[in-house]
Every structure is written in structure tokens, then in C-alpha cells.
Amino acid sequence: MLRSPDYAGGVTVPADNEYPGQRLGLPREGRGSIARPGRRIAALLVDVASAGLIGYAFFSTPDPVTGVPFANPIATNLIFFLVQIVFIPLIGGSPGHRLLGMRLELASGGWVGIWRPIVRTLLLGLIIPAVVWDADQRGLHDKAVGTVLVRR
């Protein structure tokens, strides 16, 4: 097995990547392994739908033409961002992450702190960082702040 310097600096990790998370020292399957895309997308849909329902329930405004109420998109996005920023440091993930058995942690292990969820969520709002992944199936929003979404 070849060894090369890690992007975080100094630490040697396997150069080949037989499965997502191997370079990070994570297991192939089970608890602590990289959360796969289907689970991640489902969690995102749960969080977006929840924010939409809350936005509709508390911040809906009637359409000027039809009179049918609709969720205010600005309020809905703010609710989504707030939920991500508050719940990630408190419970280790968004409600969608936790519901689908995932946890957000530092790539080196441990608590993500306060600033990482803020930067991660702002990047997630740009969409592109979330859909561009590396070989470990980490989105650019996770790589930028040094986090990884793992199964619990």
C-alpha cells in the first residue's frame, strides 16, 4: 500500500482509496463509515420539507392574483439555515441527518464547534459545493470546513 501526505498536513494515509472514507481512517461499512449519497439526499429532503412546512405555517402570504397562500421563500430559507446552524453543534447533525442515522463530525473526529456549521450551511446554500464530491464522497462544503458525515 502506498502512503502519501494527507491534505490536512503531515499525517500519512493510504494513497489508494478502495472505499469512501478509507483515506480518513474510517471503516468500510457500519457505524462511523461515510454516509452514502442516497441517505444524504433523503436527509436534505427531510430538512427542506420541514423548513417549507414551518415557513408555510408561520410565514405564508396570499398570492396577489389567486389569493392562495404560499410559503415565503426567504423565510423558508432562513428557517433551513437556522435549523442547520443550531442543530449541528447541539445534536451532531440536522434533524434529517439524525432521523436517517447520520452524524456530522470533524474529519479528525470530535465536535464540529460553532463556526463550521455556519460556513458549511452558507456553502450548502450555494448548492454547487454540495453536489461536487471527492473520492471520499465528501461535498466541497464539508471539505472546506473539515467535516465528514458518517453513519451512527
What domain count does the chain have? 1
Q: Is residue 21 situated within a structural domain?
A: no
Q: Is residue 102 situated within a structural domain?
A: yes
Q: Which residues contact 31 (CB under 8 A, 6 or more apart)?
A: 150, 151, 152
> Region 113-120: what's the mean pLDDT?
95
The pLDDT assigned to 44 comes to: 94
SS3 state at 19? coil
Question: Is the pLDDT reported for residue 49 higher than 50?
Answer: yes
Question: Is the pLDDT reported for residue 5 higher than 60?
Answer: no
For 107, the domain range is: 37-151
Cell triple for 144: 472546506
Q: What is the pTM of this model?
A: 0.81
**104 with 147: CB under 8 angstroms?**
yes
How far is it, in rounded angstroms, from Cα 89 to Cα 73? 25
- The pLDDT-based confidence of 15 (bands split at 50, 70, 90) is low
- Terminal-residue alpha carbon distance, the chain: 28
Model confidence pLDDT, tens digit, residues 62-112: 888 888 888 889 999 999 999 999 999 999 999 999 999 999 999 888 889
Q: Is residue 32 situated within a structural domain?
A: no
Model confidence pLDDT, tens digit, residues 99-108: 999 999 998 8
